[in-house]
Amino acid sequence: MSTTQTAPVTGQAGQLHLTKRDRIAVWLRSTFMQASNNYERLITMGFTFSMIPVVKRLYPNQADRSAFLKRHLEFFNTHPYLASPILGVTMALEEERANGADIDDASIQGVKIGMMGPLAGVGDPVFWGTLRPIIGAFAASLALSGSIMGAVVFFVVWNVVRMAFTWYTQELGYKQGRNIVSDLSGGIMQKITMGASVLGMFIMGVLIPRWTSIDLSKIVFSSTDMGAVAEKFPGLTTLLDLINGGGQLTAEALTNGFSGIQDMLSNGYTALTNAAAYPDAPVRLMQTTTLQSVCDSLLPGLMPLALTMLCLFLLRKKVNPIAIICGLFVVGVIGAFVGIF
């Protein structure tokens, strides 16, 4: 199974070595990093669980194993994927310690604590704040067009990125040992975080007007009669005459008629029959001004933007997001009751 000796315990420098198979086992186990996330020590048990191939390789002695498990069960928390470089560094430290280097519990714990904060600060905005919303939004747009590829693309892209990231950073941590902390703060991580945030903010700006649906067209300010439909859209009238008076419906009349309807609607008109007031030309062209049409003429996406800003304001005031969601449902139901929606 491996080429290394596991019999000698300490004092034999360079005797104990973590094989690639061990490192792959740690990598696979790190998938379960968060399983026992709890309020007392957060993901520490997941870290210990991931390190178990390491203790099996390095410490055959029961007392050493007990000490290893106890020192890694101290408090630990970070972003689950960014735990990988920390695992790598800790593996390197444990390997040296097992080979007799003078590394005490405090320095192992110190390296873990020192890395976990800054790395969580990178992982949260990059993975949860940017990558997942963007891949999710792209996949959702595929799904909303009815394609199963949305789910497939999301799953495959996410997991390829995640597994490549955790393996590569774990190896980097293992090979670089303690130097990794200065490596990561050397600018590349900041660049990635900054670039991801720029892209993320840009995409959020795009998604808000595109994908928030607020329809205020039931709030009607005015409705003006713009004259007979016949005057502006003759094709439409020909179609109506043909339907009313029978006669021969030709393909040309149909095509003209439907393009007339499209023209009418895209110009913001609606049609209304008013035979009582206008017996000669009963089909009237109406222009209705609604709250929605006013907002659209000012700035497309104005209402979604305003709503998002309101939510952001409430979040900054430490209002619980769940309270905001419930509040919006109440607004929706009350709005439907009084007839706004």
Helices and strands: H and E segment counts in the chain: 16, 3
Residue closer to other proteins, measured from CB, 139 or 184:
139
Query: Would you count residue 298 as binding other proteins (CB under 8 A)?
Result: no
Give the up-direction half-sphere exposure of residue 139: CA atoms within 13 A in the CB hemisphere. 17
Query: Would you count residue 164 as binding other proteins (CB under 8 A)?
Result: no
Query: Would you count residue 301 as binding other proteins (CB under 8 A)?
Result: yes
Q: Which of residues 98-127 bind other proteins (CB under 8 A)?
A: 120, 124-125
Minimum CB–partner distance for residue 187 and other proteins (Å): 7
CA 199 – CA 216 distance, rounded (Å): 31
Q: Which residue has the tokens 């498990």?
A: 69
Residue 170 sits at the vertex; the CA angle it makes with 165 and 172, to the nearest 5 degrees, is 95
Q: Which residue has the tokens 């043909």?
A: 242
CA 73 – CA 78 distance, rounded (Å): 14
Residue closer to other proteins, measured from CB, 106 or 298:
298
Minimum CB–partner distance for residue 88 and other proteins (Å): 18
Residue closer to other proteins, measured from CB, 164 or 299:
299
Residue choice 9, 103, 172, 203 for contact with other proteins (CB under 8 A): 203
Residue closer to other proteins, measured from CB, 5 or 190:
190
Query: Would you count residue 26 as binding other proteins (CB under 8 A)?
Result: no
Query: Would you count residue 317 as binding other proteins (CB under 8 A)?
Result: no
Strands 283-290 and 269-273: antiparallel
Query: Would you count residue 134 as binding other proteins (CB under 8 A)?
Result: yes
Q: Tell me the C-alpha to C-alpha distance, in Å, between residue 259 and each of 67, 70, 254, 273, 314.
A: 80, 77, 9, 20, 46
Residue closer to other proteins, measured from CB, 202 or 250:
202
Query: Would you count residue 9 as binding other proteins (CB under 8 A)?
Result: no
